[in-house]
Amino acid sequence: MGNLDRCRFSISCCSLKTSIVVMFSLLGVFLLALNLPSSTKAFSNYGSSATHKSITRDVIMQKVAEVCREELDGLEFNPRDSSPEELVQACLGPKAKGEVSSVMFHKALREIYYPNGLVDRDFANSAPHHFHSEAFYEGRGIITEGVGTIKANLEEGNLKAARETLGRILHTLQDFYSHSNWVELGNTEPYINLIRPYLPLEDLADVNTPTCLDCASGTCSNAILPNILKEKKLTSGYLGLYSSAKPEGKCSHGGEADQTSKTIPRGGISKDEPRTDNKALFDAAVKAATEATSQLLDDIILSAGNEDFLRMMGVARASILSFVIDTTGSMSEEIEEARSVAFEIINSKEGMQDEPSEYILVPFNDPDFGPLFRTTDPEKMKIELSKLTAKDGGDEPEMCLSGIQLALTGASSSSEIYVFTDATAKDIALKDTIDALLISTKSTLSFFKTGATGRRRRSLRAASFDDYKDLALASGGQAIRVSKSELPQATDIIRDTSTSALVTVLQRARNDGTEETFSFMLDESLKNITLYITGRSISFTLTNPTGVSQTHNEANGKLATFRTVGNLWRIRLSDDRQTGTWQISIKSNGPYTLTIRGQSTVTFIYDFVESFSGPHLGYAPLSGRPQAGQPATLMLLVTGRNGPSSVTVKNIDLVMASSPETITSCKIHNMGNGDILATVDAVPKENFVISVKGTDKVSNSDFQRQSTTRMSVSSVHIKAVVDKSVEPGKIVILPFSVVTQGDGGLYTINARNDRDFPMNFPSSLTLTSGLYSNATLTVTPPANTQSGTDATLTIEAKSPDGADSNFIILRLSVVTKITDFFPPQCGDVTVVADDCPRDASMCGSFRWELSANITDDNGTGIKSISLRQGNGNLSHTLLTDPVVQVVYSASCCSQTVEIVAVDKVGNAGRCYHSIARSGSPPALHLSLLLWLCLLVSVFSVKP
């Protein structure tokens, strides 16, 4: 049997009954039904030609389209083009009414793109990460471990960790086709063995085998030695960033950065960029890398399923309902109100785009907090909320910030998190960590604080309501203080912000009681516009573009309706409000905040980035605060109702958040596809937000949007890298470096993780200005840690006087070592379709049946069996049985079935069969089926 013996998920062709036929369309399996882009796009990070990013983007878009089409049965999936906006609209739009935003999709793509590019910065000199220096087994090991990590992360719902790992391993996989001689050997299809670790890597050139001709010009069309080509030996180029040494006769990578390219044999075989001498090979490498990326994603889709794959890719409504709730004895009323609000949102928004796409609940008291509960099922959220009861405790403070930390690390980026408590924080030492996580995730934190202003405290640094105000202000949220009886009115803000396509138009904070007028633009795309003012002794006048005004004394006026509860004013503008420039003049005797939010698909996302050089240029997102007094760069994506082309960006500014308007304008460079590079000569010293202004081309109205997270600068910078998973019970040694451009001295070091894993690190480092100081952190996940667990590590460095600090956020995936790489096996397939008529119009009253045995001999055991294609009925015996018997029956009108079996580490195999309505010679039936058996078993490509 040869290859068939090595493939454990195959179709037994020996016990087929009569009337087994195979659709001729199966021959299209070689085409993969992919419609892959034919343009030449590959392997640098940024540039005028092709990029890792473009290959990754094209294939993800294609896979999202395929999965959405399957989910909708192709009937309603009709995107006008292949843009992210159109794909999300076509995928989610038919399912529910309301605004459909693509912002989650764009954010997910960035969480894949950035780690992909960072392989060229963090592992530029690592041969396995790029398949340099004949490191084929090591390179495949990176891919294999990464795929296992992704599947384990998805099983636990850790989407961000899965995206980051996917980006890294796709870089390595794609580099194989650019850095080896795979296409020079005449191969036109991907090397499937790279993602099938149970298949051997064959015909590898060893380190002592010469592989290249000397190419003095450096532009030879094919420098591979003739005997290497004849013998089909696989080789790769050597790259030396700091040395010109390489084994005798070996190929170099090539390029200016490669020192070995000047050592005979000179030149290089990389196909990272198209040149006149390598255009055909470049195109072939792009095509193979693109199809290989598609195959790897197919494997993940089979394992995770369509729904989890779409969630991983951010194709979901942007609304996430996330509650952090104090469960001590005095919180009965607050728990009941949180439950009531959640139930109302779940029930009233069912079937709408505003229906939350995910629910998160974190309880806390003293001394306990957590665990984090996360689900996409609203009924499960209801059950979990119903379990909450107020018990024990009664004295403050509580473990509030620990609960918030779990929510921040467990929720998606840019989530809205709502905290219910009547106590101050016992764990106030976590405040800097929470602030760092808010900056990193760009999430918004709102507090509902009931009860007295303060009682007995046990923390070293006395906590207060002001701490909650600080965190809310830093994130763009609200800190609302109300009585227990007022709480139901205050929670209207949750109903407002638990919505899709939520945007912020303006946010300001003032620390003193002054009178100030704020201007803001409302465009035609905005809906459900609400103003929130927190503070005491507030008076205001709201004025529309035509000069019509309404004061704080008119609860139901010409422009808006409003009400007050506690320290919160909630002002909802009328639906017939005018577009243009509005004003609100506010007078207060004390501190206050102003926030203006609404719904719109005209929005932006951003990251502070830094450029890096090396063999390939790129941009890396900053983890932490921008450098004080230094030029800074922002990478933004601005999109409108019909994608980036439907908006014009006029201004990108850094605006002081807590003082009268001081604006630092950015220089704008349009990079295409909505990406904008914005640069400033120096970042403001005070806290600031990012403001984007432009024109919505659809309505020809000016728009204004603002970031919610307040940013600040630091003279401190921390470097650290995590690139792979760790096994439970194993110590992780993590080197890190700290530098300051400010005054040197003894800097305090602190590190935390949200899983409470044991850690060791130096409590301080002595820094000299401008020089990095190196240190090591160790973390040990307990041996009983669930595989797929994602731990978020925060390392902080603070100056001797405490006035300056910075941080870095790292993610560590804990995955049990995988030794089972074989998918389950499907055998003894029997099909009975004798009664199916040849006349298609008569198929409705007839049925056919397939039965099979599924096993996972010597594997981890079968976790699930599901129907991927087919409209019939699927049943099976217990999954714990040594042989799981599967029976599928369907109408003769439903001709195709695909059954997917997934084992406990994510290996997925398939039983695929199709019947034909018209007969064919039995010999042809059998030959086609045998051919299909071989193809599905060996290559596992989707027919």
> What angle is formed at CA 260 by the lines to CA 217 and CA 42, rounded to 5 degrees?
75
Least confident of 89-103, 322-336, 600-614: 89-103
- Judge whether 716 and 622 are in contact, CB under 8 Å: no
Same domain (yes/no): 496, 515 = no
Whole-number pLDDT of residue 74: 65
Same domain (yes/no): 167, 257 = yes
The CATH number of whichever domain residue 803 belongs to comes to 2.60.40.10
* Tokens found for residue 29: 């399996």
User: Average pLDDT, whole number, for the chain?
Assistant: 88
* C-alpha 15: how far from chain center: 46
Task: Determine the Cα–Cα distance for residues 553 and 540; give it in Å rounded to an integer.
Answer: 9
* Helix residue ranges, H only, 556-715: none
- Judge whether 690 and 633 are in contact, CB under 8 Å: no
Residue corresponding to tokens 């035609």: 524
pLDDT, tens only, 103-130: 999 999 999 999 999 999 999 999 999 9
**Structural domain boundaries enclosing 269:** 52-312
pLDDT surpasses 90 at 239: yes
Same domain (yes/no): 407, 531 = no
Least confident of 26-40, 544-558, 677-691, 786-800: 26-40
Cα-Cα-Cα-Cα dihedral sign, residues 172, 177, 181, 185 = positive
Whole-number pLDDT of residue 931: 36
- 449 confidence band (pLDDT: 50, 70, 90): very high
Same domain (yes/no): 273, 295 = yes
Evaluate whether residue 938 is within a structural domain: no
Evaluate whether residue 28 is within a structural domain: no
Same domain (yes/no): 628, 777 = no
Same domain (yes/no): 306, 359 = no
Report the number of distinct structural domains present in the chain: 6
- 40 confidence band (pLDDT: 50, 70, 90): very low
How far are the Cα atoms of 108, 441, 506, 663, 694 from residue 691, in angstroms, in the given order? 22, 18, 8, 9, 10
State if pTM tops 0.95.
Answer: no
Whole-number pLDDT of residue 26: 27
**Of 179, 144, 149, which is closest to residue 165 (Cα–Cα)?**
149
Same domain (yes/no): 784, 692 = no
Single residue among 285, 312, 339 that ends a domain in this structure? 312
Same domain (yes/no): 595, 682 = no
pLDDT surpasses 80 at 681: yes
Same domain (yes/no): 445, 580 = no
Same domain (yes/no): 183, 298 = yes
pLDDT, tens only, 576-625: 889 999 999 999 989 999 999 999 999 999 999 998 887 778 889 998 99
The CATH number of whichever domain residue 346 belongs to comes to 3.40.50.410
The CATH number of whichever domain residue 902 belongs to comes to 2.60.40
Evaluate whether residue 900 is within a structural domain: yes
Residue corresponding to tokens 């055909």: 280
- 915 confidence band (pLDDT: 50, 70, 90): confident
Whole-number pLDDT of residue 326: 95
pLDDT surpasses 80 at 544: yes
pLDDT surpasses 60 at 735: yes
Single residue among 541, 565, 600 that ends a domain in this structure? 600
- Determine the average pLDDT of the residues in 740-755: 96
Task: Determine the Cα–Cα distance for residues 821 and 148; give it in Å rounded to an integer.
Answer: 9
Task: Determine the Cα–Cα distance for residues 557 and 543; give it in Å rounded to an integer.
Answer: 11
Whole-number pLDDT of residue 933: 40
- Determine the average pLDDT of the residues in 232-252: 96
pLDDT surpasses 70 at 568: yes
Single residue among 576, 600, 624 that ends a domain in this structure? 600
Higher-confidence residue of 717 and 39: namely 717
- 461 confidence band (pLDDT: 50, 70, 90): low
pLDDT surpasses 90 at 934: no
pLDDT surpasses 80 at 687: yes
Same domain (yes/no): 734, 678 = no
Same domain (yes/no): 228, 338 = no
- Judge whether 925 and 937 are in contact, CB under 8 Å: no
pLDDT, tens only, 801-825: 999 999 999 999 999 999 999 999 9
- Determine the average pLDDT of the residues in 542-559: 95
